[in-house]
């Protein structure tokens, strides 16, 4: 969304989107469903995601105590009706499988027979199947020669149409039908309620006798189920987990532990039933119990690393690898924040995971699952995760999803929930039309000492304006011109106010907040860096922000990889790739130097020794594997390999390689139409594009050669149109 939006005005963007709708083949618009030429399990959209996320997020424990999320849980509808209008050339015999009890009706007539052999004669029919399940998500799998469950089915929870402005609805008997949701449960035996992540055995790299038991090192941050081998006797056994050796050794303060009690009847090889995050495990049997050894089952979501990055700088390569591993560890049932603590879905964290995902796995279902899980259902009565900024990131994540996937079906499916959340936000504005923290709202922004959350925070208004623009775009896709106008009007007003009420000519920057009508004199990086990728400032202000904020050490430094993500992105957007690489070497390289095998929740280079492990007032409170630590994946793909979509689903795209001072680099960026490969050194650029309206844009000291049709853009810049998926080799001379 960043440079893309920076260069395109919203009006033009809308044109591009509409154009894209004609250009992108249908199979790409609904790419996740395109594989469902065979039957798949279906459910009410979002319901399985809500159910699964409830289960997953309730797995957090703190020193053995249950620790569920702080926010509201929703549940699936326990009784839903699926329907499909059929037009059959010949008889079909279908088998019907459900998760829950089912009532089957063909053309309104109750079917009393065997659901494995429902005969449907040729002709037009309506097949209706009502499913009840109070414990898990009511789900349906139908398979015949022609009749199969797929994304074309409809579903209702027996909600009725609300009357419209004219006082009437046109809905057939008033029932409101939605398109079903699905994932990839493509066999009748693959019951959605029985979904488990995959596992594989993993051995320890070092097992050291320690006290009565062992200290076990798995060599790197990992996640899974600890297995105790040769377990004999009866009594208690405690397992203390540590992301660091210090934590595992600290029986008193380690964040996670398991207290097990054996009566002697246990299996000799015993698998602990809860998965945990750790590198080290301190296994302490009490008297009466003994064991030989310890291993684990690594638990993971099987995802293909479709993106890649390699370069002349081994440190950067390692940073990319550790970022990718960090990202994989936190990409699970959903995109979670960190694997040791929380294991929850936080919208601000997920928003960054989405962007990293587009450059690593490009797995759309993970984005959709996470988006549904975060949003829950109606009515809305608090912000997402209770955090005001996190509601806004949720909107922004949807637009990015559309840009990277071109999946218009999802935008249509999620749009009603976008509207109700936006109404919630709009109702909470103050008399000045701005949002500020009300009771029940958490204004987060970032973990930073002394950061004010009071009054009208300019950063929140900025995200709010961006969310309103997203609403306008999605309203357009949903064919609601009045809503487009309304949301654009609201966005325009708010953007105007941000400029007039927060910009300080004196400080040449946006001011952080205004409390009870009084502007403070505090400048922070947040509003200023976002204003750059949001294209909310002209070139003059951009330069002022760069000098007076981004490159100004007097402005409070950012210490979370979370906000480092945006800070470095803003600098890349301003062409500071070389500077940013140095920052990455320092910051992420700094963590590696301290032995990181995954990237952290927070890193302050000034902290010493075990200080680095503490957070929230607890000695091992800090997460050492946090999704937002993995941003180099995104930065390398987006600003060095330089690949980005410029219309939804990569209907058009750009490649702007930028070596940032490297001798060479190579890599791949996944797209819905396959990977785009980029190699660049100072003399040659090699591209393997995809079908579509691609553009290679680069600078050269000399006239480049190697392909027909290279256009000069002036100022040493050149452009080459890429239309097919063959290789292009360009000879040039890097500036």
Nearest residue (CB) to a copy of itself, 128 versus 326: 128
At closest approach, how far in Å is the CB of 63 from a copy of itself?
A: 5
Name the DSSP class of 161: P
User: Does 610 participate in binding a copy of itself (rule CB under 8 A)?
Assistant: no
Closest to 581 in 3D by CA, of 316, 309, 317, 311: 316
d(CA 23, CA 5): 20
Residue 502: exposure state from Cβ atoms within 10 A (0-12, 13-18, ≥19): buried
Among 27, 90, 134, 208, the residue binding a copy of itself under the rule CB under 8 A is: 134
**614 belongs to the binding site for a copy of itself (CB under 8 A):** no
Paired strand residues for 338: 626
Q: Is 238 a residue that touches a copy of itself (CB under 8 A)?
A: no
User: Which residue's CB is nearer to a copy of itself, number 423 or number 547?
Assistant: 423
> What is d(CA 115, CA 104) in angstroms, rounded to the nearest whole number?
8
The nearest distance, CB 358 to a copy of itself, in angstroms, is: 32
How many residues belong to the site for a copy of itself (CB under 8 A)? 62
Stretch that binds a copy of itself, among 233-241, 388-396, 435-443, 654-662 (CB under 8 A): 435-443
Nearest one of 693, 690, 687 to 651, comparing CA atoms: 693
Q: Which two tokens stand for residue 650?
A: 């990569």
Binding mask 146-185 for a copy of itself (x = CB under 8 A): -----------xxxxxxx---xxxxxxxxxx---------
Distance of CA 387 to CAs 338, 453, 470, 511, Å?
A: 18, 12, 19, 21
Smallest separation, CB 378 to a copy of itself (Å): 6
Count CA atoms within 13 Å of residue 547 on its CB side.
Answer: 8
- Our CB check for a copy of itself shows the closer of 75 and 268 to be 75
> CB 68: neighbour CB atoms within 10 A?
13
Residues 384-403 that bind a copy of itself (CB under 8 A): 386
3-state secondary structure of 83: strand
Distance of CA 709 to the CA centre of its chain: 38
Binding of residue 587 to a copy of itself (CB under 8 A): no
Q: Exposed, middle or buried by CB within 10 Å (0-12, 13-18, 19+), for 290? A: middle
* 318 makes contact with a copy of itself (CB under 8 A): no
CB of 163 to a copy of itself, least distance (A): 6
- Contacts of the segment 602-605: beta carbons below 8 A, 24+ positions apart: 602/447, 602/559, 602/560, 602/561, 603/559, 603/561, 603/629, 604/559
3-state secondary structure 377-421: CCCCCCCHHHEHHHHHHHHHHHHHHHHHHCCHHHHHHHHHHHHHH
Contact at 8 Å (CB) between 268 and 164? no
Question: Can you tell me which of 8, 10, 34, 103 binds a copy of itself, judged by CB under 8 A?
Answer: 103
Least distance from a copy of itself to the Cβ atom of residue 441, Å: 7
**Contacts with a copy of itself in 527-566 (CB under 8 A)?**
none
Find the shortest distance in angstroms from Cβ 65 to a copy of itself. 5
Q: Which of 71, 214, 534, 639 lies at the binding interface for a copy of itself (CB under 8 A)?
A: 71
C-alpha to C-alpha distances, 599 to 160, 255, 591, nearest whole angstrom = 48, 18, 7
253 binds a copy of itself (CB under 8 A): no
Contact segment (CB under 8 A) with a copy of itself among 25-33, 102-110, 247-255, 403-411 equals: 102-110
Residue choice 15, 123, 288, 440 for contact with a copy of itself (CB under 8 A)? 440
Of 438 and 735, nearer to a copy of itself (C-beta) is: 438
Rule CB under 8 A: say whether 274 interacts with a copy of itself: no
Q: Which of residues 11, 87, 110, 539 is near a copy of itself by CB under 8 A?
A: 110
CB of 457 to a copy of itself, least distance (A): 17
| 225 C-beta neighbours (distance < 10 Å), count | 16
β-pairing, 513-515 vs 518-519, is: antiparallel
User: Least distance in Å: CB of 425 to a copy of itself?
Assistant: 12
Kindly state the smallest distance separating residue 734's Cβ from a copy of itself, in Å.
Answer: 55
**Are residues 118 and 104 in contact, defined by beta-carbon separation less than 8 angstroms?**
yes
Shortest distance in whole angstroms from residue 160 CB to a copy of itself: 3
Residue closer to a copy of itself, measured from CB, 150 or 333: 333
Based on the shown chain and the rule CB under 8 A, indicate whether residue 18 belongs to the binding site for a copy of itself.
no
- Please state, in angstroms and rounded to a whole number, the distance separating the CA atoms of residues 15 and 553: 41
70 or 713: CB nearest a copy of itself: 70
* Interface pick for a copy of itself out of 266, 382, 452, 556 (rule CB under 8 A): 382
> Please, what is the minimum distance in Å from the beta carbon of residue 100 to a copy of itself?
9
Say whether residue 430 binds a copy of itself (CB under 8 A).
Answer: yes
Residues 6+ apart with CB under 8 A from 435: 388, 425, 428, 429, 456, 460, 461, 464
Output 30 or 58, the one with its CB closest to a copy of itself: 58
- The answer to the question of residue 72 lying near a copy of itself (CB under 8 A) is yes
Q: Which is nearer to a copy of itself, 130 or 306 (CB)?
A: 130
Q: Is 117 in the site for a copy of itself (CB under 8 A)?
A: no
Give the integer Cα–Cα distance in Å for 316 and 666. 12
Task: Please give the Cα distance from 91 to 122 (Å, whole number).
Answer: 5
> Is residue 116 within the footprint of a copy of itself (CB under 8 A)?
no
| Nearest-approach distance from CB 396 to a copy of itself, in angstroms | 22
Min separation Cβ 437 and a copy of itself, Å? 9
Does 70 contact a copy of itself by CB under 8 A? Answer: yes
Three-state SS at 257: strand
Which residues in 50-69 contact a copy of itself (CB under 8 A)? 51, 54-55, 58, 62-69
Give strand pairing partners of 131.
80, 102
Residue 198 in contact with a copy of itself, rule: CB under 8 A: no
Task: Determine which residue in the list 45, 46, 76, 455 makes contact with a copy of itself, applying CB under 8 A.
Answer: 76
Helix (H, G, I), strand (E, B) or coil at 232: strand
- In Å, how far from its chain's centre is CA 51? 18
Instruction: Using CB under 8 A, list all residues that contact a copy of itself.
Output: 51, 54-55, 58, 62-73, 75-79, 101-104, 110-112, 130, 132, 134-135, 157-163, 167-176, 378-379, 381-382, 386, 427-428, 430-431, 438-441
């Amino acid at each position: 969304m960043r440079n893309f939006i920076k260069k395109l005005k919203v009006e033009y963007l809308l044109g591009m989107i509409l154009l894209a709708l004609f250009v992108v083949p249908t199979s790409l618009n609904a790419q996740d469903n395109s594989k469902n030429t065979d039957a798949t399990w279906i459910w009410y959209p979002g319901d399985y995601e809500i159910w699964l996320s409830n289960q997953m997020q309730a797995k957090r424990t703190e020193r053995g105590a249950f620790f569920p999320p702080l926010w509201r849980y929703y549940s699936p509808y326990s009784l839903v009706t699926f329907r499909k209008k059929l037009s059959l050339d010949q008889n079909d015999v279908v088998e019907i499988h459900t998760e829950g009890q089912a009532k089957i009706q063909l053309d309104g007539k109750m079917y009393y027979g065997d659901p494995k052999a429902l005969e449907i004669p040729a002709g037009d029919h309506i097949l209706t199947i009502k499913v009840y399940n109070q414990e898990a998500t009511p789900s349906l799998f139908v398979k015949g020669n022609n009749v199969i469950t797929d994304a074309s089915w409809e579903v209702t929870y027996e909600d009725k149409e609300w009357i419209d402005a004219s006082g009437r609805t046109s809905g057939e008997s008033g029932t409101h039908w939605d398109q079903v949701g699905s994932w990839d449960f493509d066999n009748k035996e693959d019951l959605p309620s029985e979904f488990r992540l995959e596992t594989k055995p993993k051995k320890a790299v070092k097992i050291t006798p320690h006290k009565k038991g062992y200290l076990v090192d798995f060599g790197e941050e990992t996640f899974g189920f600890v297995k105790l081998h040769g377990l004999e006797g009866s009594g208690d056994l405690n397992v203390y987990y540590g992301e660091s050796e210090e934590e595992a050794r600290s029986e008193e303060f380690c964040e996670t532990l398991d207290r097990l009690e054996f009566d002697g009847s246990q299996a000799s090889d015993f698998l602990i039933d809860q998965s945990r995050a750790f590198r080290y495990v301190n296994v302490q049997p009490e008297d009466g119990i003994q064991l030989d050894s310890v291993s684990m089952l690594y638990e993971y979501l099987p995802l293909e690393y479709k993106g890649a990055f390699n370069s002349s700088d081994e440190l950067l390569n390692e940073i990319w690898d550790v970022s990718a591993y960090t990202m994989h560890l936190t990409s699970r049932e959903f995109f979670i924040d960190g694997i040791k603590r929380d294991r929850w879905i936080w919208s601000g964290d997920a928003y960054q995971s989405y962007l990293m995902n587009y450059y690593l796995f490009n797995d759309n279902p993970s984005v959709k699952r996470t988006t549904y899980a975060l949003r829950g259902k109606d009515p809305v009565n608090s912000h997402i995760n209770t955090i005001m900024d996190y509601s806004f990131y949720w909107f922004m994540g949807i637009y990015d999803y559309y840009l990277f996937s071109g999946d218009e079906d999802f935008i249509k499916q999620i749009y009603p929930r976008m509207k109700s959340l936006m109404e919630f936000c709009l109702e909470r504005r103050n008399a000045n039309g701005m949002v500020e923290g009300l009771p029940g709202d958490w204004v987060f922004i970032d973990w930073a000492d002394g950061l004010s959350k009071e009054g009208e925070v300019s950063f929140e208004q900025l995200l709010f304006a961006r969310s309103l623009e997203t609403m306008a775009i999605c309203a357009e896709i949903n064919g609601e011109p009045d809503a487009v106008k309304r949301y654009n009007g609201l966005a325009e007003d708010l953007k105007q106010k941000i400029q007039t009420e927060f910009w300080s000519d004196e400080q040449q920057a946006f001011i952080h907040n205004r409390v009870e009508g009084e502007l403070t004199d505090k400048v922070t990086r947040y509003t200023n860096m976002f204003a750059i990728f949001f294209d909310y400032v002209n070139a003059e202000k951009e330069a002022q922000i760069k000098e007076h904020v981004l490159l100004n050490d007097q402005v409070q430094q950012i210490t979370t990889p979370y906000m480092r993500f945006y800070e470095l992105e803003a600098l890349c957007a301003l062409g500071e790739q070389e500077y940013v690489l140095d920052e990455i070497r320092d910051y992420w390289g700094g963590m590696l130097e301290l032995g990181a095998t995954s990237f952290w929740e927070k890193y302050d280079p000034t902290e010493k020794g075990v200080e680095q492990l503490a957070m929230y007032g607890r000695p091992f409170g800090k997460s050492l594997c946090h999704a937002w630590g993995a941003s180099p994946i995104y930065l390398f793909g987006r600003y060095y390999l330089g690949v980005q979509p410029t219309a939804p689903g990569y209907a058009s795209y750009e490649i702007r390689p930028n070596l940032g001072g490297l001798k060479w680099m190579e890599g791949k960026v996944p797209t819905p139409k396959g990977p785009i490969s980029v190699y660049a050194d100072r003399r040659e650029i090699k591209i393997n594009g995809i079908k579509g309206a691609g553009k290679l844009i680069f600078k050269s000291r000399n006239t480049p050669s190697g392909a027909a049709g290279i256009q000069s853009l002036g100022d040493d810049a050149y452009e080459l149109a890429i239309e097919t998926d063959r290789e292009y080799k360009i000879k040039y001379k890097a500036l």
